[in-house]
């Protein structure tokens, strides 16, 4: 059987796309450098989803050898139409959702993975069975079902992006005392990748010509390589040597039930409790100098106070200006005192001694608090 030049270009670019995807899956699976390998779920929380996402490109292999078959081409288009939103949602949620301790997304996406697998599996079967199954009214029905599923994945993708945008604006500083503890720089760098991947995939699906498929597959390969290059480095600030094995109260039922969960109604008794809690927070943070821990989080502080994290956050917002502002005001005060006592100390030394972790973090926090003071 002879192929035209455009068919050979399409077949070759599809082969490149599959080879790159499988190579990325292998690299992500095998790239477990020490000492981060002992804490893969912390430093690379999405690594299993990444492996799974790129490994599924194996279902496109039959289409490489069938550039003339209509079913094979339609299968590739269906795969791109569904997987662009589905995998983008899964990777964003599994990485940043884990960082933010957001778990509500798991059940709906896992449930939607069943019809996704059915659609992709049936498309692969239609490709392998001789003849043209995807034609006429059945083809319209097949793509209508795929379109409805794509809308569901679009909503998941929109919610993942919304979660990330909200985290960049508020959640990070509400839960972390050090801006570097939430990978905001990585989030801002990586957010363009799913948008670009989705845009290219849907242009391919909409136009559907072999020329566009050929060029689009190569573009998607480049985007995927850019993604894995950025994803191989750990983007979470906690030093692996400081990695604490202590359980988080939000993930440990015994600790969680052992914390105090007072009523939120503003009664006289509750007001007294709040005042006592403020004193407890001040003792932990100021007297015991908890702010010197550059990776102090709201969860850690609530565990020290023995009170539910949500309630501690509420009290700190009402009485102390908020977790982030309060902790970093303490650090700035310590830095000012440290500079008076050690006038020869460098900015880096002042920053580390005051709990900022780095000079850049010190500058960022000082600039942010100055903006807050100007409002």
Asked if the model's pLDDT at residue 245 lies above 50, the reply is no
What average pLDDT does this structure show over 6-24?
96
Would you say residue 344 lies in a domain? yes
- End position of a domain, from candidates 208, 242, 276: 242
What was the pLDDT predicted at 64? 94
Asked if the model's pLDDT at residue 267 lies above 70, the reply is no
- Domain identity same for 63 and 114: yes
Among the ranges given (209-218, 230-239, 329-338), the one the predictor scored with the smallest mean pLDDT: 230-239
Q: How many other β-carbons are positioned within 10 Å of the β-carbon of residue 265? A: 7
- Domain identity same for 199 and 325: no
Asked if the model's pLDDT at residue 29 lies above 70, the reply is yes
Would you say residue 277 lies in a domain? yes
- Domain identity same for 265 and 338: yes
On whether the CB atoms of residues 331 and 368 are closer than 8 A, the answer is no
What was the pLDDT predicted at 2? 77
Structure tokens at 347: 């900015």
- Domain identity same for 20 and 139: yes
Measured CA to CA, the distance from residue 162 to residue 158 in angstroms comes to: 6
Q: Buried b vs exposed e over 336-374: b needs ≥16 C-beta within 10 Å?
A: eebbeeeeeeeeeebbbbbbbbeeebbebbbeebeeeee
182-194: pLDDT as tens digits: 787 788 888 899 9
Among the ranges given (42-56, 129-143, 169-183, 226-240), the one the predictor scored with the smallest mean pLDDT: 169-183
Q: Of 81-90, 227-236, 365-374, where does the model show the most confidence? A: 81-90
Structure tokens at 176: 């972390």
The closest of 47, 57, 60 to 22, measured between CA atoms, is 57
- Domain identity same for 29 and 176: yes
- Domain identity same for 219 and 366: no
Q: What pTM was computed for the model?
A: 0.74
What was the pLDDT predicted at 257? 42
- Domain identity same for 76 and 111: yes
Would you say residue 247 lies in a domain? no
- Domain identity same for 181 and 284: no
Structure tokens at 108: 């709906």
- End position of a domain, from candidates 207, 223, 242: 242
- Domain identity same for 192 and 318: no
- Domain identity same for 32 and 110: yes
On whether the CB atoms of residues 301 and 281 are closer than 8 A, the answer is yes
- Domain identity same for 131 and 191: yes
- Domain identity same for 28 and 152: yes
Would you say residue 58 lies in a domain? yes
What average pLDDT does this structure show over 251-271?
50
315-343: pLDDT as tens digits: 888 888 888 889 999 999 999 999 999 98
Would you say residue 248 lies in a domain? no
Q: Tell me which residue range forms the domain holding 124.
A: 5-242
What is the number of structural domains in the chain? 2
């Amino acid at each position: 059987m002879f192929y035209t030049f455009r068919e050979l270009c399409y077949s070759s670019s599809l082969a490149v796309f599959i080879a790159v995807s499988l190579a990325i899956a292998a690299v992500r699976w095998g790239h477990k450098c020490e000492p981060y390998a002992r804490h893969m779920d912390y430093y690379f929380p999405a690594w299993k989803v990444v492996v799974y996402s790129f490994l599924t490109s194996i279902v496109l292999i039959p289409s490489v050898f069938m550039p003339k078959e209509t079913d094979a081409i339609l299968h590739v288009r269906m795969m791109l139409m569904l997987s662009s939103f589905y995998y983008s949602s899964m990777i964003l949620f599994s990485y940043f959702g884990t960082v933010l301790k957001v778990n509500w997304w798991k059940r709906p996406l896992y449930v939607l993975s069943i019809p996704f697998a059915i659609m992709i599996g049936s498309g692969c079967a239609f490709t392998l069975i001789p003849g043209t199954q995807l034609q006429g009214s059945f083809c319209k029905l097949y793509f209508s079902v795929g379109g409805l599923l794509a809308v569901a994945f679009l909503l998941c993708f929109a919610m993942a992006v919304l979660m990330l945008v909200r985290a960049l604006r508020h959640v990070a500083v509400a839960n972390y005392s050090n801006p570097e503890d939430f990978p905001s720089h990585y989030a801002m760098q990586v957010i363009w990748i799913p948008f670009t991947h989705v845009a290219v995939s849907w242009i391919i699906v909409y136009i559907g010509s072999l020329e566009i498929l050929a060029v689009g597959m190569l573009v998607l390969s480049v985007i995927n390589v850019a993604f894995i290059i950025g994803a191989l480095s750990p983007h979470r600030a906690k030093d692996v040597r400081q990695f604490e094995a202590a359980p988080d109260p939000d993930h440990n039922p015994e600790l969680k039930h052992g914390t105090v969960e007072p009523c939120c109604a503003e009664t006289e008794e509750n007001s007294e409790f709040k005042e006592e809690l403020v004193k407890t927070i001040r003792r932990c943070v100021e007297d015991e100098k908890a702010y010197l821990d550059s990776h102090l989080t709201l969860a850690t502080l609530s565990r020290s106070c023995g009170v539910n994290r949500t309630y501690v956050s509420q009290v700190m917002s009402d009485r102390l200006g908020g977790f982030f502002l309060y902790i970093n005001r303490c650090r700035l005060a310590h830095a000012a005192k440290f500079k008076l006592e050690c006038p020869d100390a460098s900015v880096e030394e002042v920053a580390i001694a005051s709990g900022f972790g780095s000079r850049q973090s010190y500058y960022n926090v000082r600039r942010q608090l100055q903006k807050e003071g100007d409002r």
